[in-house]
Amino acid sequence: MAKVCSLTGKRVIRGNNVSHAKNRTRRSFEPNLQHVRLYSNALKRHIRLRIAASTIRTLDKKGGLDQFLLTRRAILLGVEARKLKKKITKAIAKTEVGGKAITPAAAVATSAADLAPASAAVITVAHESQPDAQPKAQPD
């Protein structure tokens, strides 16, 4: 079994142990791989992967497997993750938004818009003491 992260492609790298006397001996640095089962909202099923612990933290930060794969460039993903991204993109494209099917590019844009913070919306304020006052937009 290869020591490679399924999502990021992180793999074993080579380096040196350096003693106090500056003697160098070869060693390998292995990724902290874990067997995990992640849920894909787009595919509506669990997916078993072998990923690095650092990737698990990144998945939590990005908001799950689907958001991680959709917001990451394909060249930065591992081989298995590229196939999974293609399946998720197709599944999202099949779903209907507003009564018509959307393209994979629009699916990524839609999912990215879902991640936008709520504070970016324009807030209107109306004062009760001045009934004729127009609601004014609060600056960002």
At 139, is the pLDDT very low, low, confident or very high (cuts 50, 70, 90)?
Answer: low
Say if CB 108 and CB 70 are below 8 A apart.
yes
What does the buried/exposed string (b/e) look like for 15-32 if buried means 16 or more CB atoms within 10 Å of the residue's CB? eeeeeeeeeeeeeeeebe
Read out DSSP for 75-86?
A: GGS-HHHHHHHH
User: How confident is the model at residue 122, as a pLDDT?
Assistant: 42
- Main-chain phi, psi angles of 64, to 5 degrees: 120, 175
Q: Domains plus CATH for the chain?
A: 1-14+25-114 (2.30.170.40)
Residue 3 has pLDDT above 80, yes or no: yes
What's the whole-number mean pLDDT along residues 89-97? 81
Residue 120 has pLDDT above 50, yes or no: no
Query: In the beta sheet, which residues pair with residue 34?
Result: 51
Residue 24 has pLDDT above 50, yes or no: yes
How does the average pLDDT of the chain come out, rounded? 80
What's the whole-number mean pLDDT along residues 16-22? 97
Neighbouring CB atoms inside 10 A of 6's CB total 22
User: How confident is the model at residue 79, as a pLDDT?
Assistant: 85
At 137, is the pLDDT very low, low, confident or very high (cuts 50, 70, 90)?
Answer: low
Residue-wise pLDDT tens digits, 26-54: 999 999 999 999 999 999 999 999 999 99
Residue 99 has pLDDT above 70, yes or no: no
